[in-house]
A and B are shown apart, each in its own frame.
Chain A
């Protein structure tokens, strides 16, 4: 009686599996089930290793489960099977200890070879320093003096806020090396542009907590650790757009610090670098002129949305207990210089990180003017970029300096 209950139970359960599995399987996107091959020599070798170990695992699984299934069918009491009494065999034990060992050695050798190649940083032709911040990346082209911040593109940042009612699929489509793809949360304001066919050395560090710079198509993932420099490298074969993400939990907006690498031919890269260098000069000039109030507040709103909003919220109301409000806060309505100091230096022991090296004088002036004249505040104060500059000269930006000098020391002495 028991066994018939069991059999009908089994049959129902089996049907349930089929009923669930079939439509779900048909409906799912089978394109996104495996590791991509990527676009570097290393990423191709990693892909090969991955597939090889995967097939080995499938074979082991098939053998073990096959024997189990045969046994469960043949050696069941309901078929009248009599139990054997043996329970030991040294020779069998030796076989199934040694065989896996041989498979492992066969797997370990190619894996070690790829690993050694990944760790060979010699003969790199250019270096890019990547610094992780909560929650943006800073790229520094060490050889050409170009540097900038890169963070989640503003329209994505709006769409990912709680309660934002956006049709993600219709709104966010872009291209990468696979062609048209949905790019929600995978777009940045400033892309990292690199030349193809060049061995690029990436140097990783962080300013606050540990991050991890991961671009799957380049087979690169390395932790960015405050106070330390890690390195890895890539030589990209094909021009294209390669997207990545922060892989190490780094706080509230860990899921929202994407990476976009645009690989272009060398001439195009040279032109881009020249353009960036000119833009740096122009930005410096911007910091020296006088701005109008309207101009400051309009720019400040954009800076606020990109840098402050995710914690202090769209209307400056903050999140009680976690992130203080800006509306009516003592800092944003009190002394202007203290307000500037708070933003330049951050608040130690909290998630308010120093913005001294993140924002330009013009952006700082704009966002402070905005905070004092919007979000429910109306102090009427405006701050000019030149004022920030004069304060900056006084302020001891110790944190950023020490990170930078530690980095330079390691750079000049070599890594590892």
Chain B
């Protein structure tokens, strides 16, 4: 990543247009501030999300440490609540989303044979907004009134009780939203306009497809979220009553608006992961992706359905019966296209010639554990049962299974998969496998017991609990610390790889197909300044 050595690249890049004055990156720190290069910006996004991963993870460890035993030992309940709130905000908006945007920046131009993103200056701006937005967001933890403590869902009226940090939080959310929308517009513009001549939509790699659909989800829903938080702001400071029953408003309306954003957001966090896994499994099975067309249609169906299932987060708010039935049926429907994707991955593996390098391990871990989360999601769709599961640790277990060994594992798989392409060096395979196995053991020790305590009646977002939940909570906390600290291995492996190692070939993996593998490793600072020819051997389908 930061090993993109200036002279080395300039030399590598001798065949590009010499009339151009940008041979390589600018020297020094200003390179990173002023860069409009998709690879540099991708790198910035990826490092940023890695740092945020440890900040959000530290918050999770505060939560788990308090829950190690019943009784209040370490933090005040108010601080506990701001930890659960901030942990979610950081992990969603600071880790998973920027990491996917970082991968999109690095890989989409290289996968479609484009020289860069379509809107390079916008690209710089959409990254650099984020560190400032998160500085504001995290600074609220040091304010007298404490950080936001009403949950990341920001439900009124509770959220309106927040102290002085309220305005800062809303402001930061607006900026994160602007960053996401700008990033998405850039991705859509790039995919539509910058594909190498001859690359049709149905020849694009799955990662490009899933990101195209994700970008539309972002453009459609982030403004809705921005509207909702702005209404909170005017309710608080300008005397409106959007969500205040005493003034004729309705607190539940916020939940409808929020989840109209929030449910597509869930797919924003997982569709690019589907794309990553759909790239990795064919490579290591040495067999093309099974059912490419149905994968594209399934992704589009999931995206469409994501707009009509939002109220399944609200079955206990007292919806009319017809509403509850509709949202139950539409939610159950989502399992059909999701099932198609899982079956296609399994069929891709079937009769392949598999090897199990670290990216493949993480991808298989993704398929298995994401499916565990998907199956508990199917259970949650059954409304009468959901009314019992709702707001318990069963739900916490469910969405952590799809997000940690789901989205996060796909990000780790992607890192190991493309790291040799980014740095020109192979990572340490033995350590990578250790990282996978240790993480996988601990992530299950951490999240599986949450199913049990949730079913047995433990509500979520509580700092202290009754004694019948004590054993499983202690086990989960052991898993949390094990999982958290084993991620230091990930950093070590990345840093080691950036600094050197066995040189990677252009193709890196025996079974890898696609345009990104036709350029040297590390990828030159500028790639595809002349559009590549599209041949069947370089197309992934």
Contact = CB atoms under 8 A, between A and B. Distances in A.
Interface of A: 2, 5-6, 9-10, 12-13, 16-17, 20-21, 24, 27-29, 31-36, 42, 45-46, 49-50, 53-54, 56-57, 60-61, 64-65, 67-68, 71-72, 75-78, 81-89, 92-93, 96-97, 100-101, 104, 107-108, 111-112, 114-116, 118-119, 159-164, 166, 168-169, 172, 181-186, 204, 208-210, 212, 214, 216, 219, 221-223, 225-228, 230-231, 245-256, 319-322, 349-351, 399, 402, 406, 416
Contacts of A97: 336, 339-340
Contact of B384 (A101, A118, A159, A183): A118
A85 B536 CA distance: 14
B509 interface: no
Interface residues on chain B, size class: 35 or more
Contacts of B382: 49-50, 53, 107, 111
A246 B155 contact: no
Nearest to A162: B72
Contact of B324 (A31, A86, A115, A253): A115
Given A32-B453, A169-B467, A57 B383 contact: no
A62 to B, nearest CB: 11
B371 A83 contact: no
B364 interface: yes
Contact of B346 (A64, A85, A161): A64
B325 A112 contact: yes
Interface of B: 70-73, 76-78, 81, 143-146, 149-151, 155, 157-158, 160-161, 163, 244-246, 250-252, 285-294, 316-318, 320-321, 324-325, 328-329, 332-333, 335-336, 339-340, 342-343, 346-356, 364, 367-368, 371-372, 375-376, 378-379, 382-385, 387-388, 390-392, 429-430, 433-434, 437-438, 440-441, 445, 449, 452-453, 455-457, 459-472, 475, 478, 541
A12 B356 CA distance: 16
Nearest to A49: B385
Majority secondary structure, B binding face: helix
Contacts of B376: 57
Contacts, number: 340
Contacts of A245: 457, 459, 462
Contact of A321 (B150, B163, B445): B163
B461 A46 contact: no
Contacts of A16: 437-438, 441
24 contacts: A6-B433, A9-B434, A16-B438, A28-B471, A32-B456, A32-B468, A50-B388, A71-B350, A72-B356, A77-B286, A83-B353, A88-B290, A107-B332, A108-B328, A108-B329, A111-B382, A118-B384, A182-B467, A225-B318, A228-B250, A250-B158, A252-B81, A252-B149, A319-B76
B316 A5 contact: no
Given A104-B333, A112-B328, A185 B379 contact: no
A160 B466 contact: no
A88 B295 CA distance: 11
